[in-house]
């Protein structure tokens, strides 16, 4: 019993007991995204005694993350999220094995990663990645614990659980537009509530106890404390096998060309080249060189006429995530000479100190 002293308060629950705790200790959970949702899910799963947790995220901590990504400290800014998350977990519960995977989830690595874990947790705010997670879960037959935030409202569901409905059954339109928290705004409490609800679904799945949110989606609004559950059914309109998956996602993975900030320094003030800033207007630092234009990502499709399809365009955001999304969007609109600047303004600011203002 000494080995279980850490978990005593949950072991005394008859629904868990030592048998349930063994199940938790033997389980393996993969969290996609170490941002707001991931930062909530991770410590609760780790504290509960999940045996092995993988965290996938290629982003670094930004100052604006700290308002909701509460496992990071001010000293974490500029460091990889997964490495900081792993260090936090080592201090919280050293018995848990944590795999820090500083990569972007893609068609190249998703299936191989998913095969190593029992449950996949979607803690992203990227619509395309959600479809990728869903499809890789179908190939590997893993449940997908879904969470999403829009301003003061959040959603939670479990897809592909015991051959139940998938994300595509609820949201079949892969080409629909969505706004992430960078553009729509978010309060940390929304993220906290939805993240904890996701962690709860993971534990229920492992313990095989309680009613899992399969065939249902829970919608929670923190402004009025209202929540509703809606039923939805399984649809067989979308079928995918490994060959179809690889064909579908290998094209997308290879679509976005990137370029280092150092490589574009000599193009500043070159009127034949355009630097496209897809950050929101209130984000700092400001870029002031002559051949730049700012169009927030959420407005890009509606303001695309401001751009020339034949011009060389270098796209940047704060850290290099939104710029890749913008490049994907523009390539679908027949833009050819377009690249995303690796690392965004975080990489550019040291090189362009005399060109930016705070």
Question: Quick one: 249 and 269 in the same domain?
Answer: no
Pair (308, 185) in one structural domain: no
Burial of 243 (0-12, 13-18, 19+ CB in 10 A): exposed
SS3 readout for 92-152: HCCCCEEEEECCCCCCCCHHHHHCCCCEEEECCCCHHHHHHHHHHHHHHCCCEEEEEEEEC
Share of the chain above pLDDT 90, in %: 52
Give the alpha-carbon dihedral of 59, 149, 304, 327, to 10 degrees: 30
Query: For 287, how many CA atoms within 13 A lie in the half-sphere containing its CB?
Result: 30
H or E element: which one contains 276?
A: strand 273-277
Highest mean pLDDT of the ranges 63-67, 142-146, 180-184, 257-261: 142-146
Decide which of 253, 269, 296 is a domain's last residue. Answer: 253
Q: Which of the listed ranges 26-30, 76-80, 189-193, 258-262 does the model predict with the highest average pLDDT?
A: 26-30
Percentage above 70 pLDDT, the chain: 91
Residue 233 sits in the same domain as residue 273: no
Same-domain pairing of 292 and 223:
no
Residue 267 and residue 202 share a domain:
no
Q: Are residues 274 and 189 in the same domain?
A: no
Same domain, residue pair 30 and 159: yes
Picking from 231, 253, 275, the residue at the C-terminal end of a domain is: 253
- Quick check: bond before 253 cis, omega within 30? no
**Domain-terminating residue out of 253, 280, 297:** 253
Contacts of 12 (CB under 8 A, 6+ apart): none
Q: How many domains does the chain have?
A: 2
pLDDT band at 252 (very low <50, low <70, confident <90, very high): low
Q: How many CB atoms lie within 10 A of CB 67?
A: 12
Between CA 71 and CA 161 the distance in angstroms is 29
- Residue 127: is its pLDDT beyond 90? no
Residue 56 main-chain phi, psi, to 5 deg:
-110, 120
User: Residue 226's pLDDT is what?
Assistant: 87
CATH of the domain at 148: 3.40.50.720
In this structure, are 9 and 131 located in the same domain?
A: yes
Q: State whether 297 and 151 are in the same domain.
A: no
- Are 45 and 202 within 8 A, CB to CB? yes
CA 154/CA 310 separation, integer angstroms: 40
Q: How many CB atoms are located within 10 Å of the residue 315 CB?
A: 30
pLDDT value at 228 more than 50:
yes
CA 349 to chain centre: 25
Which residue did the predictor score with more confidence, 133 or 181?
133
Do residues 32 and 144 share a domain? yes
Return the CATH number at 270. 3.40.250.10
Q: Looking at the structure, tell me whether residues 243 and 264 fall in a common domain.
A: no
- Is residue 285 scored above 90 in pLDDT? no
Sign, Cα dihedral of 7, 11, 12, 16? positive
- Residues 6 or more apart whose Cβ sits within 8 Å of residue 344: 316, 317, 318, 319, 320, 321, 322, 323
Cα–Cα distance for residue pair 230/347, rounded to 1 Å? 44
Residue 327's domain comprises 258-357
At residue 1 the predicted structure's pLDDT band, cuts being 50, 70 and 90, is very low
CB 48 within 8 A of CB 7: yes
Residues 192 and 275 in one domain: no
* pLDDT attached to residue 44: 96
């Amino acid at each position: 019993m000494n080995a279980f002293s850490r978990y005593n308060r949950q072991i005394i629950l008859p629904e868990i007991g030592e048998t349930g705790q063994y199940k938790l200790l033997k389980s393996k959970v993969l969290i996609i995204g170490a941002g707001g949702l991931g930062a909530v899910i991770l410590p609760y799963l780790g504290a509960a005694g999940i045996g092995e947790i993988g965290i996938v995220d290629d982003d670094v901590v930004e100052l604006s993350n700290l308002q909701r990504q509460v496992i990071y400290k001010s000293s974490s800014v500029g460091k990889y999220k997964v490495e900081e998350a792993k260090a936090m977990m080592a201090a919280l519960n050293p018995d848990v094995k944590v795999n820090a995977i500083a990569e972007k989830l893609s068609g190249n690595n998703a299936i191989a990663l998913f095969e190593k874990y029992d449950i996949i947790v979607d803690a992203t705010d990227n619509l395309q990645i959600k479809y990728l997670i869903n499809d890789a879960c179908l190939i590997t037959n893993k449940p997908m614990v879904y969470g999403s935030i829009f301003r003061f409202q959040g959603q939670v569901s479990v897809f592909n659980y015991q051959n139940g409905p998938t994300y595509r059954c609820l949201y079949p339109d892969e080409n629909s537009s969505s706004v992430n928290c960078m553009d729509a705004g978010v309060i940390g409490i929304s993220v906290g509530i939805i993240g904890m609800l996701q962690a709860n679904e993971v534990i229920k799945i492992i313990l095989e106890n309680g009613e899992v949110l399969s065939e249902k989606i829970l919608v929670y609004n923190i402004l009025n404390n209202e929540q509703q559950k809606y039923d939805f059914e399984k649809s067989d309109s979308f079928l995918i096998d490994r060959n179809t998956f690889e064909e579908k996602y290998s094209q997308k993975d290879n679509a976005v060309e990137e370029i280092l900030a150092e490589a574009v320094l000599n193009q500043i003030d070159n009127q034949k080249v355009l630097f496209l800033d897809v950050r929101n207007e209130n984000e700092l630092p400001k870029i002031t060189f002559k051949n730049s234009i700012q169009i927030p990502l959420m407005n890009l499709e509606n303001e695309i006429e401001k751009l020339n399809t034949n011009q060389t365009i270098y796209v940047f955001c704060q850290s290099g995530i939104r710029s890749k999304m913008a490049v994907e969007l523009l390539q679908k609109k027949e833009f050819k000479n377009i690249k995303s600047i690796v690392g965004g303004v975080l990489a550019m600011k040291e090189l362009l100190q005399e060109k930016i203002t705070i």
